[in-house]
Chain A
C-alpha cells in the first residue's frame, strides 16, 4: 500500500511537463524550523525527562522541500528530527505528498499525508505557527503526537459557499493506513510495564471534518470524526527477566469524534474543543487476558491577546477524565492543567516562549520509569522554548 502510494507520487512527478524547467519555473521552496525546549518541574518528572533538575531534552528540527510543477499541482516532502526525554532521537518522514487542487471546491492530496482531524491535528507539531509552548495536553498529548500526525493514504478537501450571508464550509475526507511504531511515545506506559509491540500497531482508518466559517468574520465552528476498524498486533510481555510471554493487542472498531470552535480577530483569539476517546482494548496472553480500560473525555478552552506586535500572552484550561477507571483510583483518573503563556517574536525568524503549568492529577505527563518513587498528585511545570524558522 505504502509503496503503491509512493509510486503514484513518483508518477505524478514524472508526468508533469519535464521540458527543461528551471528551478524558478518549478517554484521550488525550502523551509525549515528548529526548536529547543527546556522543562523544569517540581514533584514529578514530565515526558520521560529529568525535569525536576531542569531538562533541555526536547529538541525538534524540521525541513521541507516543495515544488509547483504546474499551478494546480504541488509536490513536497518533509523530514523531522525529534528528541523528547528518553525516546525519539531519530529522523522520520513527516509527510510526502502530491496535491492536485482542481479549484477551491475540490482538491486531492495523496502519499504520506497529514490527518486533518480535530482543531489542530494538522498543525499541532508546527511550533512556529502558534503561541503556546505546549498545546493543551488533554487533546494534543506530546509523547503520543508523532504517530497521530500523518498516514499513508489520501485526503480530499475543498470549500463550498453555503449561501448568501451564511458563510462557507470547508470539508475534508480522508482514509489510509496509520502506523504507531513500537518505539513510539504512545507506548511508554506499556514498555515500562514490560510489554512490547514488535511490529507496532497499524490499521486502516477513515474520517471526515467540517469547518463552518460563519458569517461572523473570524468565527469558525467545526467537528471531526474518525472511524478505526478493528486493529490487532502481536504483543510480548516480560513479567520477570528471562520469562517471555507471547500474546496480542486487540482494539475493537471505534469512532473518535471532536467538536471545536475558534474565534480570531485582530488581537484576540479564543478557542475550545471537546473530544471523546473510548476504544475497547484487550491485551491477551495465554490464560491471561488484561483489559485496558479507556473511556476518556478531553476538553480545553483557551484565549490569547496580542499585547504588542511582538508580544502575545494567553491562558488555557485543559482537562481530561478517564471514566473507565473507578473513583478509587483518585488522581490517576484525571488531569487538569491551568496554563499561563507568553510568546515574543524577536523577528520574522526568531521567537521565544515561556509557560507555567499548574497540573492536578496524573493521567497525563508522567511515566513510572522517571518517577520511580511514585507519582505525586500535583505538579508545577515551567516550559521555556526558543525557536527559529525560515
Chain B
C-alpha cells in the first residue's frame, strides 16, 4: 500500500513537472498577425505545412529553432512528433515540390528578432526570453 501511494505521489509530481515544463515554451507572432490566440490544431497545421493562414488572422510563416530543449519541447507538446519525424514530414513536402523548408534560426533571440521584423512570422521561444516587439499567442 505504501509502495502504491509512493508511485501515485511520484506520478503526480511528474505530471506537475510536465505541466511546468510545458509552460516554458511560448508562441510568438509578428504584431501584424491579427489573432491573439490559436488552437493547438491550427498551430500544428501551420508548423507542418498543412496551412499558411490562421482563422481571421491572415497569412503566417512558421519560424523554427534549429535544435535544443525549447525546440524539442515545442514539437513534443504542440506538434506531437520528435525532431526526426517532424523534419521527415517537411522533407516530404520539399522534395515533392509542395513547399519550401521553413527558416531555422540558431536561438531564441534570433527568433524574436526575425519575428518582430517580418510580417506574418510566427515562432516559439522560452518564456524567460525577452520578447519585446512581438505578440504572444495564447494556445487554446
Which residues on A are within 8 Å of B, measured CB to CB?
A: 27, 29, 31, 33, 62, 64, 66, 68, 71, 74, 76, 78, 95, 97, 99, 101, 103-104, 109, 113-114, 122-123, 125-126, 128-130, 159, 217-218, 265-266, 306, 309-310, 345, 348, 351, 389
B36 at the interface (CB under 8 A from A): no
Q: What CA separation (Å) do A274 and B42 show in the bound complex? A: 31
Q: Is the interface of A mostly helix, strand, loop or mixed?
A: strand
Given A101-B52, A104-B52, A159-B50, A123–B87 Cβ distance below 8 Å?
A: no
Q: What CA separation (Å) do A72 and B92 show in the bound complex? A: 20
Contact yes or no, B84 A310, CB < 8 A: yes
Known: A95-B96, A126-B92, A348-B83. 17 other contacts (CB 8 A): A29-B94, A29-B100, A71-B61, A74-B99, A76-B97, A76-B100, A99-B98, A103-B53, A114-B96, A114-B98, A122-B96, A126-B95, A128-B91, A129-B88, A159-B50, A309-B82, A348-B67
B59 at the interface (CB under 8 A from A): yes
Contact yes or no, A62 B51, CB < 8 A: no
Q: What CA separation (Å) do A309 and B98 show in the bound complex? A: 26
Contact yes or no, A348 B80, CB < 8 A: no
Contact yes or no, B50 A29, CB < 8 A: no
B85 CB to closest chain A CB, in angstroms?
7
Given A104-B52, A309-B84, A62–B95 Cβ distance below 8 Å?
A: yes
* Complex contacts, A130 vs chain B, CB 8 Å: 88
Of the candidates A64, A101, A129, the one whose C-beta lies within 8 Å of that of B92 is: A129
Q: What CA separation (Å) do A101 and B89 show in the bound complex? A: 20
Interface string of B64-87 (1 = CB under 8 A from A): 000100000000000011111101
Q: What CA separation (Å) do A122 and B98 show in the bound complex? A: 9
B26 at the interface (CB under 8 A from A): no
Q: What CA separation (Å) do A130 and B89 show in the bound complex? A: 8
Q: What CA separation (Å) do A306 and B81 show in the bound complex? A: 10
B38 at the interface (CB under 8 A from A): no
Q: What CA separation (Å) do A104 and B80 show in the bound complex? A: 22
Given A159-B51, A348-B83, A113–B95 Cβ distance below 8 Å?
A: no
Contact yes or no, B84 A345, CB < 8 A: yes
Q: Which of B90-108 contact A (CB under 8 A)?
A: 91-92, 94-101
Contact yes or no, A95 B97, CB < 8 A: yes
* Complex contacts, A29 vs chain B, CB 8 Å: 94, 100-101
A161 CB to closest chain B CB, in angstroms?
9
* Complex contacts, B81 vs chain A, CB 8 Å: 266
B129 at the interface (CB under 8 A from A): no
Would you give 15 A-B contacts (Cβ < 8 Å), ordered by A? A33-B95, A66-B94, A71-B120, A74-B100, A95-B96, A97-B97, A101-B52, A104-B53, A122-B96, A126-B96, A129-B88, A129-B91, A217-B80, A218-B80, A345-B84
